[in-house]
Structure 1
Amino acid sequence: MPSNWENLDEPLRESVQHNVELYERVRPALKLVTRDVLLVLRDMLKDSEVTPLFVTGRTKTVESFKEKISRTEEPLEPGGRRLLKFPDPFRTLNDMVGIRVITKLPAENAAVANIIKRQRQLFDCRGDREKDIGSIESGTYGYSSRHLILRTIQNEAVKEYQQVFNPEITPNGSYFFECQIRTIFAHAWSEIEHDIRFKAEDPRAWTPHFDRQFTATAAMLETVETAFADLHERYEEVRSFWDMDGEGAAPLTPNRIRDVWRTLLPHVDRKVDDDWGWASELLAAHGLTQTMELAGLLRAEQITEVRKALDHRYSPGPDRLLDDLLLWQFGTRHIDLTAEAADAVPHPRRDSLLRRLRQIERYRVTKK
Structure 2
Amino acid sequence: MEIFANHVELYSQRRDLYVKAAKKLRQVLTECMEEASITYLVVKSRAKEVASFEKKSTKESADGSLKYSDPLTEITDLVAARIVTYSEASVEDVCAIIGQKFFLDESADKGKETRDKGEFGYASKHFVAKLLPTYFGIPGYKILEDMRFEIQVRTAVQHAWAEYEHSVRYKGGFPKGANPEIDRGFEAAAVDAERLDREFAEIGRVVREASSGVSQGEKIPTSSSKGNSFARTWLTGASLRSFLEQRYSGVGPSKRMSYDWISGLLVLHGIDSIEELSATLQDVNHELVAQAMGYSYPAMHVRRLDDDLLQSLGQGWIERYKREVPEGKEHLSHLRARRRMLQNAGLWRG
Shorter-chain TM-score: what band?
Answer: 0.5 to 0.7
The aligned residue for residue 189 of structure 2 is 217
The 1:93/1:204 distance shift into structure 2, 3 A limit, reads closer
The aligned residue for residue 200 of structure 2 is 228
Q: What is the deviation of 1:201?
A: 5.6
Please state if 1:28 is matched with 2:10: no
Q: For residue 220 of structure 1, give the secondary structure of its aligned residue in structure 2.
A: helix
Larger Rg: 1
The 1-side partners of 2:94 and 2:176 are apart by 39
Q: What is the deviation of 1:243?
A: 2.6
The 2-side partners of 1:160 and 1:45 are apart by 21
The aligned residue for residue 291 of structure 2 is none
The 1-side partners of 2:215 and 2:143 are apart by 51
Aligned 8 A contact 2:82 2:151 in 1: yes
The aligned residue for residue 17 of structure 1 is 5
The 2-side partners of 1:97 and 1:224 are apart by 31
Please state if 1:197 is matched with 2:169: yes
The 1-side partners of 2:113 and 2:106 are apart by 20
The 1:99/1:63 distance shift into structure 2, 3 A limit, reads same
Aligned 8 A contact 1:135 1:141 in 2: yes
Q: What is the deviation of 1:15?
A: 2.8
The 1-side partners of 2:57 and 2:18 are apart by 17
Aligned 8 A contact 2:114 2:122 in 1: no
Please state if 1:64 is matched with 2:52: yes
Of 128, 147, 163, the residue aligned with 1:149 is 128
Structure-to-structure mapping, 1:239-278, within 5 angstroms:
239-244=211-216
The aligned residue for residue 303 of structure 1 is none
Q: What is the deviation of 1:49?
A: 3.3
What are the superposed Cα offsets for residues 173-205 of structure 1, whole Å, 9 maximum, x if unpaired? Answer: 211100101000111111111111122368799
Of 118, 121, 126, the residue aligned with 2:105 is 126
- Indicate the RMSD between aligned Cα atoms, in angstroms: 2.5
Aligned 8 A contact 1:148 1:178 in 2: yes
The aligned residue for residue 98 of structure 1 is 80
Of 63, 74, 89, the residue aligned with 1:107 is 89
Identity of aligned residues (%): 29
The 2-side partners of 1:104 and 1:113 are apart by 14
Aligned 8 A contact 1:134 1:142 in 2: no
In the alignment, structure 2 segments of 5+ residues that lack a partner are 219-350
The 1-side partners of 2:113 and 2:105 are apart by 24
Aligned 8 A contact 2:85 2:155 in 1: yes
The 1:139/1:226 distance shift into structure 2, 3 A limit, reads same
In the alignment, structure 1 segments of 5+ residues that lack a partner are 1-12, 76-81, 162-172, 247-368
Of 78, 86, 90, the residue aligned with 2:68 is 86
Equivalent pairs, count: 214
Aligned 8 A contact 1:133 1:143 in 2: no
Q: What is the deviation of 1:209?
A: 1.5
Output the TM-score relative to the length of structure 1.
0.54
Q: For residue 42 of structure 1, give the secondary structure of its aligned residue in structure 2.
A: helix
